[in-house]
Amino acid sequence: MKAIKYLMIGSLFLLVTACGSGATEEQAEVADADKSAMKLYKNNCMSCHGNDLSGRVGPGLQQVGSKMTEEKLVEIITVGANGMPGYENVLSAEEIGQLAKWLSEKKE
């Protein structure tokens, strides 16, 4: 009887541990994507849009996700707009997508 009890407890522990590790991996992937996008921003956008996205020469981007879709941001980053140069020859399509996704989440 004790063996069955320990087996059930052990199985439950393994189940909980396995379920928790998936969330941790997903969180790590999101954190890595954010770090990558932040690095792209720092290297390509910060001089005009500010280190805290508050704007300088270019407009502030702190709430840009409330105003523009991810697709619109991809377009603007790629071809430029209103004095902003396009980055199609500077960044890859994947990098532009990462940056646009990250910026589209800026809603506060």
Please check if 48 is assigned to a binding site. Answer: yes
pLDDT tens column, 16-69: 455 555 558 777 777 888 899 999 999 999 999 999 999 999 999 999 999 999
Q: How far is CA 54 from the centre of its chain?
A: 18
User: What would the CATH number be for the domain defined by 2-104?
Assistant: 1.10.760.10
pLDDT tens column, 46-61: 999 999 999 999 999 9
Between 74 and 22, residue with greater pLDDT: 74
Please check if 45 is assigned to a binding site. Answer: yes
Please check if 49 is assigned to a binding site. Answer: yes
**Got the DSSP string for 3-64?**
HHHHHHHHHHHHHHHHHHHHHHHHHHHHHHHHHHHHHHHHHHTHHHH-TTSS-SSSPP-TTH
